[in-house]
Amino acid sequence: MKLVVLDGYTENPGDLSWDALKEFGDLTVYDRTSFTESPLIAERIGDAEIIITNKTPISRETIDKCPRIKLIAALATGYNVIDYNYAAEKGIPVVNVPAYGTASVSQFSIALLLEICHHIGHHDKTVHEGKWAENIDWCYWDYPLIELEGKTMGIIGFGRIGQAEGRIAKALGMNVIAYDLYPNESGRALADYVTQDELFAKADVISLHCNLTPENTGLINRENIAKMKDGVILLNNARGQLINESDLAEALFSGKVAAAGLDVVSTEPIKADNPLLKAPNCIITPHISWAPKESRGRIMDCTAENIRAFLNGKPVHVVNMK
């Protein structure tokens, strides 16, 4: 059995082991292949039977060029880089890794919020630059500081990650409201479910944890921002395409949105002309909510289990077949 990892570096830059996958056969690991369609992808797959990818696309053309493929495993929850419908037509299961990042992604979202509230990085930098030592007062702050207790967190998408963030927000003394297409009892124990428009109107902080769909692409746009409180804080470490970035930049410049904390943007890596790069009070990190070693270890373990289950004739976490 031949296995190929097409873009393994972000999953394992050297602090994990590929040994769990080597037990299944002849494993070849490439740090990087291509994030866009390229003949190199099929060339590297060759006659391999199990393909493991994170962001390297697996297109219809690649599948046709590599007729020995039996399984495509995504090193992630998202699998939109794979033509999973065509893979299904060819009888090739596509498997993913669900629920590996619940703790890390919810923690990171709150970290973005706390940085917005306290500007810890900025103030640490100014102290090391000598500003405190030279200050005429015994302390100083360069930005308004925000206390979260009593404020309302509105979470759009109240699944595992949204609910994990809700628990942290409640521990900080916040009121939590949520919008989700499928309310459930565990969610009701943490938050009051409201309509989307109610959430926009009531929340001091809005956090996005929903899947990206055609219906919610560009959800945060000029029209919906107008429904929000003046000075609202926006957090997004779900999918960048949930936000109309020009509209958000406009709202940041006007002050309608006081601040944004983003770990995702519409095109990744970010383009130099992204309007949010010049917007005030906008923290942008390079899609790293998922990346703690513990979280990546769960991806590795689950991928190994996905392959083992497939080889045993009982595939799990299949996203393209019933």
Amino acid, res. 147:
E
Please give the C-alpha separations between residue 172 and each of 98, 266, 289, in angstroms, as whole numbers.
28, 30, 20
Query: Do 51 and 70 form a contact (C-beta atoms < 8 A)?
Result: no
Residue 17 CA to residue 95 CA, distance in Å, equals 21
Catalytically annotated residue among 123, 239, 296, 317: 239
* Contacts of residue 105, Cβ cutoff 8 Å, sequence gap at least 6: 161, 164, 209, 237, 289, 290
The burial class, CB within 10 Å (0-12 / 13-18 / 19+), for 93 is buried
Judge whether 287 counts as a catalytic residue.
yes
Sign, Cα dihedral of 200, 203, 207, 209: negative
Please give the C-alpha separations between residue 236 and each of 80, 187, 261, in angstroms, as whole numbers.
19, 20, 6
| Residue 178 DSSP symbol | E
- Which helix (DSSP H) or strand (DSSP E) does residue 162 occupy? helix 160-171
**The two structure tokens encoding residue 53:** 């990818």
Residue 185 CA to residue 183 CA, distance in Å, equals 7
Give 61-128 as a DSSP string. Answer: HHHHH-TT--EEEESSS--TTB-HHHHHHTT--EE--TTSSHHHHHHHHHHHHHHHHH-HHHHHHHHH
Judge whether 209 counts as a catalytic residue.
no
SS3 category, 175:
strand
Judge whether 44 counts as a catalytic residue.
no
SS3 category, 148:
coil
Residue 320 CA to residue 199 CA, distance in Å, equals 33
Known catalytic residues are 239, 268, 287
